[in-house]
Amino acid sequence: MLPRLLRTVAWLLTAIALTLAGLGYFIDASEPPHKADLIVSLGGGDGRRIKEAARLWQQGYATSGRFLYTGREIVNPALEPPQRFDKRSYLLSQGIPPDKIRFVPRGIIVNTAEELFFIKAYMLRHGYRSVLIVSSPTHTRRIRLLARWIAGFQNAGLRLYVSSFPDPQWHPWRYLFDPVMRHEVFLEAEKIIYNLLKYAPPTIGETSYGKKRDTKRWKESVERL
C-alpha cells in the first residue's frame, strides 16, 4: 500500500513541477523582431522596453519610421540619473526625428488592454497594417491574448509581432528558483485570466475603457496623433 501511495505522490509532484516549468514557456510568447509599419514601446518597466524598441527602430524595423510609446514620460522622476529616465530625450538622442515620435500619456490609457485598443484605433486611422510591440518577456503572452481575443487585431486584418528586451535574469523554467521572477510569472498568469474575463463582451461596458471609448476626449486623442 505504501509503495503505491509513494508512487502516486511522486507522479503528482512531477506533474506539478512540469506544469510550473511549462508556465514559464507559456508566459514568454516573445518572438524575434519582424519589420512592421509601426514600432510601439508599451508603458511600464524601467526603461529597457523603450531602449530595445529604439534599437530596433535604428535597425529599420519600422517601415513608416513611426515610433509610438505609452505610459509615463519619465521613469522614476523623483530620482537622479541613471535611475531617472526621460523617454523622449532618450529617443531624440538615438536619432529618432521628433516628427516621427508619438506619445500616448497614462491619463488617456491606464493598462495593457487600453493600450491595445488605442494602438488598434491608431493603426486603422493611419492605414497601418502591422505593428511590432516591444515589452518585457513575461508580458508578451498577455499582449498576444488581449490583442487577439479582446482588442480584435486579427479580425481587423492587423498583423501583430511581439518582441522583448534581453533579460539575463529571465529563464522560462529557472524562474522557479528566483523569487522575483517567480512572483512576476504567477502575477502575469493571474492578470491574463482577470483581463480576459474583465474585458469580455458582457463586462467590458463596466470598465474604464468601456465608459470612455465613445467619448470626445478618447476620439480626439486618436485623431490628434
Say yes or no to pLDDT of 11 above 90: no
Res. 217: pLDDT tops 90: no
Give 86's pLDDT tier (boundaries 50, 70, 90): very high
Q: C-alpha cell of 42?
A: 508599451
- Per-residue exposure over 145-170, b if at least 16 CB sit within 10 Å of its own CB, e if not: bbbeebbebeeeebebbbbbbeeeeb
Tell me the per-residue pLDDT of 34-51, one tens digit each, with 9 for 90 and over: 999 999 999 988 899 999
Q: What is the pTM of this model?
A: 0.91
- What is the per-residue pLDDT across 151-182, written as a single tens digit (0 to 9) for each? 999 999 999 999 999 999 999 988 989 999 99
* Protein fold of 25-224: Rossmann fold (3.40.50)
Contact 77, 48 (CB under 8 A): no
